[in-house]
A = this chain, B = another copy of it.
Amino acid sequence: MAGEMLAAVKTDPAPGATKMMNVSKPKPGPGEVLVKVRIASICGTDVHIYKWDDWAKARIKPPLIQGHEFAGEVAELGDNTTHVQVGDYVSAEGHVACGTCYQCRTGQSHICPNVHIIGVDRDGAFAEYVAVPEENIIINPANLPLEMASIQDPFGNSVQTVFSADAPGNFIAVFGLGPTGLMSIALLRAVAASKIFAIGHVNEYRMELAKKLGADHVLKASDDLESMVLRETGGRMVDHVLEMSGSPEAFNQGLKILRPGGGMHVLGIYADPFVVDVSSDIVTKGIELYGIHGRRMYGDWYRMAGLLTSGKLNLKPIITHRFPFEQFLEAMEVMKSGNCGKVVLFME
């Protein structure tokens, strides 16, 4: 039916509770555009909502269509749009910033305190159509493959993290081998980090992927990292640590293998506060620590387009599973298992 579309709807405040169903096609409001979704990918955040964990309980108000990683074509323009055209090949930044706070007015809208997130606070892209503010629309290069276009939102996390460090020719450790950690490894490889140490936990599938994407050394958190890093860096220790695991142990281990004057770049989210040896591990070593959230709007997106179309970055192995949108629930189960990289859904 013309006014309807297929969507994956989180119907109730409970684990799972997601149904493939027909709903009304959204109308783009003033300043918004309607995108016909051609591909979407599943984020770890989507799994949190699916599982209905504590964070989800506090934040999510069902019914909700999730999904903020996608690409498609502009199908319709709302009032007062200025430059996007029907037919444009687009993706979108998932953070809808307020535009008027100190952060938004000074180039830091990625940490706008009034942010609304697509697929979290408003309906998202696990559907045939999604309405998005024109401001958030990214016009993709014509030669950007659909799968790469879809994963730009999470890849943007890797981009912000990696470029907050000084990687080329330096020693870098990555803790956490989820998709963001894995894409960071591919990026570190692409910008010629001297040695990339990838530290995982127990998931052999992802440790294998880390190797494939360019890690020089793939280790377990239970290994004697300090001795190993000391030896492999000629006594210098690593110049930067990217903490993407969300594990307090990894955070503290990361600080231990960092050289004096090194950088700690933290994208991981921790379930609870935890103990840090601030004096010995940060202050007297002169460490710089960066909290990383989202993607720089929109510098990181331009850089991504440049990287993804350059032929100098090999991100393909990160896409490990492809499903037609109708099999959304199966795709979600694969994500839950952890035995995957990025999982993508095709709407057509």
Question: Distance (Å) between the CB of A249 and the closest chain B CB?
Answer: 13
Interface 9-mer from A15-23, A44-52, A189-197, A202-210: A189-197
A285 at the B interface (CB under 8 A):
yes
Contacting B at CB under 8 A, from A255-278, are 259-261, 266-270, 273-278
Q: A193 vs B312: C-alpha distance in the bound complex, in angstroms?
A: 8
Instruction: Give 1 or 0 for each of A274-295: 1 = CB within 8 Å of chain B CB.
Output: 1111110011111111111100
Chain B residues with CB under 8 A of A291: 278, 282-289
A30 at the B interface (CB under 8 A):
yes
Kindly identify which residue among B99, B283, B305, B307 contacts A292, using a CB–CB cutoff of 8 Å.
B283
Do residues B108 and A260 form an inter-chain contact, with CB atoms below 8 A? yes
Do residues B299 and A106 form an inter-chain contact, with CB atoms below 8 A? yes
Do residues B279 and A269 form an inter-chain contact, with CB atoms below 8 A? yes
Interface 9-mer from A64-72, A165-173, A319-327: A165-173
Do residues A192 and B307 form an inter-chain contact, with CB atoms below 8 A? yes
A317 at the B interface (CB under 8 A):
no
Q: A83-B100, A276-B276, A289-B291 are in contact. List 17 more A-B contacts (CB 8 A).
A: A30-B80, A103-B259, A105-B299, A107-B107, A108-B260, A108-B286, A112-B260, A168-B303, A170-B303, A190-B191, A195-B310, A266-B283, A269-B279, A269-B284, A275-B276, A285-B293, A286-B292
A231 at the B interface (CB under 8 A):
no
Kindly identify which residue among B159, B193, B269, B282 contacts A283, using a CB–CB cutoff of 8 Å.
B269
**Which residue among A278, A285, A298 has the maximum number of chain B CB atoms within 10 Å of its CB?**
A278
Chain B residues with CB under 8 A of A293: 283-286
Q: A294 vs B302: C-alpha distance in the bound complex, in angstroms?
A: 24
Q: A309 vs B103: C-alpha distance in the bound complex, in angstroms?
A: 21
A10 at the B interface (CB under 8 A):
no
Chain B residues with CB under 8 A of A129: none
Contacting B at CB under 8 A, from A77-123, are 80, 82-83, 99-100, 102-103, 105-108, 110-113
Do residues B275 and A309 form an inter-chain contact, with CB atoms below 8 A? no
Do residues A102 and B168 form an inter-chain contact, with CB atoms below 8 A? no
Instruction: Give 1 or 0 for each of A179-196: 1 = CB within 8 Å of chain B CB.
Output: 000000000011111110
Question: Distance (Å) between the CB of A12 and the closest chain B CB?
Answer: 27
Do residues A273 and B269 form an inter-chain contact, with CB atoms below 8 A? no
A328 at the B interface (CB under 8 A):
no
